[in-house]
């Protein structure tokens, strides 16, 4: 018996010795069990196939010339359902071994010419063991990676649920203060996302602007009820307070790390293309694209929604007003695209479930 041989340590290698000569299988089992392997024997080639089907073995030592079927037939049957088993053929004489072409076709790892010494067979087995251990390492790494990915997905799902709950809570705070604007942010967000898609923007960009629309008025939380809920037209002083809601929104959103990327658009959604808007007086393309889009959808929904201090106007009239303000209040190219989209709204407003679910929320609309 060779010294310094590779003896499996963590997970013992399981060998099935198959030979129609019981003396041969007993000799193999005795020798390799002493080497640290788990060795089981089988003297029937047909039963050997079924054992491989129903049990786990790492290596098969298989006699080539057996009765009633030879080893190559056994391997063919096994390869129909198992490609992982390492197989070493045992032959009484080298000339009796199957051709190399057959060995390759059946994915046989080698063959051993029977003798009184098992040194060469040990080397073949050790070579198989090295490959088996590498495969186990790769499999364990793959399974570990799959578990990590599963855990990451679970964490991501929890974060998304928390994020959704947080956004719903924040939005409901704004909606709860004023029944007349309830659902406004949902409609602004929906139309902004649809317009972004019309512009050919990416799914990620469309998702971001949808969130921007949901929170564009979050700053109104800090507006006093005496102003926010006033029945009539605001005074200049009151309007000055109302104009501060974009900056109030920035203060609120700065405390929510997951919403930092929407801050520029929320701050600037009341800027005008001609530079006469607020809070910074930005002009033209200096206004963030998302803010220019929100400005359109926000104004459209405001015009077509009933308010305490005025009645709503029909959608097509609101679109006419948007075109009249293109180049002054609104980005002209975006205004043209938005108006075209809304003129064709019959194609989607009665069929899109996302719109149907929020459009009626603006009850208190008189169209």
> Which positions are catalytic?
220
SS3 (DSSP) at 91:
strand
Residue with tokens 């793959």: 142
Task: Provide the H-helix boundaries in the chain.
Answer: 22-34, 45-54, 71-79, 100-105, 119-177, 184-198, 203-215, 225-228, 236-242, 245-253, 263-268, 289-303, 315-324, 332-343, 353-358
Given a contact cutoff of 8 angstroms between Cβ atoms, the answer to whether 234 and 240 are in contact is no
Q: Are 365 and 312 in contact (CB under 8 A)?
A: yes
User: Which among 30, 23, 25 is positioned nearest to 48, based on CA atoms?
Assistant: 25
Instruction: Pull the structure tokens for residue 302.
Output: 């405001």
Query: What is the 8-class DSSP label of residue 18?
Result: E
Task: Please state, in angstroms and rounded to a whole number, the distance separating the CA atoms of residues 258 and 248.
Answer: 17
SS3 261: helix
| Residue in the structure block whose two tokens are 């400005």 | 295
Give the integer Cα–Cα distance in Å for 197 and 207. 10
Whether the Cβ atoms of residue 202 and residue 220 lie closer than 8 Å to each other = no
Structure tokens given for 252:
């609120």
Place of tokens 């997905």: 153
* Closest C-alpha among 30, 18, 95, 9 to residue 57: 18
DSSP 325: T
Using the 8-state DSSP alphabet, how is residue 307 labeled? B
Task: For residues 341 and 296, give the distance between their C-alpha atoms in angstroms, rounded to a whole number.
Answer: 12
Half-sphere exposure of 216 (CA within 13 A, CB side): 31
Token pair, residue 275, equals 């530079």
């Amino acid at each position: 018996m060779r010294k310094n041989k590779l003896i499996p340590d963590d997970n013992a290698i399981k060998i099935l010795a198959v030979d129609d000569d019981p003396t041969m299988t007993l000799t193999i089992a005795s020798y390799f069990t002493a080497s640290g392997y788990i060795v089981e024997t089988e003297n029937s080639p047909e039963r050997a196939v079924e054992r491989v089907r129903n049990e786990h073995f790492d290596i098969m030592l298989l006699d080539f010339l057996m009765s009633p079927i030879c080893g190559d037939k056994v391997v063919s049957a096994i390869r129909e359902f198992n490609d992982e088993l390492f197989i070493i053929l045992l032959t009484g004489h080298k000339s009796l071994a199957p051709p190399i072409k057959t060995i390759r076709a059946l994915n046989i790892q080698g063959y051993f010419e029977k003798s009184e010494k098992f040194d060469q067979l040990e080397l073949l087995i050790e070579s198989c063991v090295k490959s088996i251990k590498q495969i186990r390492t790769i499999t364990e790494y793959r399974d570990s990676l799959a578990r990590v990915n599963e855990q990451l997905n679970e964490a991501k799902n929890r974060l998304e649920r928390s994020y959704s709950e947080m956004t719903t809570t924040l939005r409901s705070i704004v909606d709860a203060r004023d029944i007349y604007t309830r659902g406004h942010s949902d409609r602004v967000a929906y139309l902004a996302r649809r317009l972004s898609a019309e512009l050919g923007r990416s799914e990620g960009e469309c998702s971001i602007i949808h969130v921007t629309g949901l929170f564009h008025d979050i700053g109104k939380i800090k507006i006093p009820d005496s102003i926010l809920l006033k029945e009539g037209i605001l005074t200049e002083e009151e309007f000055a307070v109302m104009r501060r809601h974009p900056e109030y929104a920035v203060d609120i959103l700065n405390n929510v790390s997951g919403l930092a990327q929407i801050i520029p658009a929320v701050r600037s959604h009341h800027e005008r293309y001609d530079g006469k808007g607020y809070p910074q007086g930005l002009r033209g393309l200096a206004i963030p694209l998302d803010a220019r889009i929100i400005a359109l959808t926000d104004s459209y929904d405001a015009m077509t929604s009933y308010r305490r201090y005025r009645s709503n106007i029909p959608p097509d009239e609101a679109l006419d007003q948007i075109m009249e303000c293109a180049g002054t209040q609104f980005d002209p190219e975006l205004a043209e695209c938005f108006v075209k989209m809304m003129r064709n709204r019959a194609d989607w407003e009665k069929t899109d479930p996302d719109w149907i679910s929020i459009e009626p929320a603006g009850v208190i609309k008189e169209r």
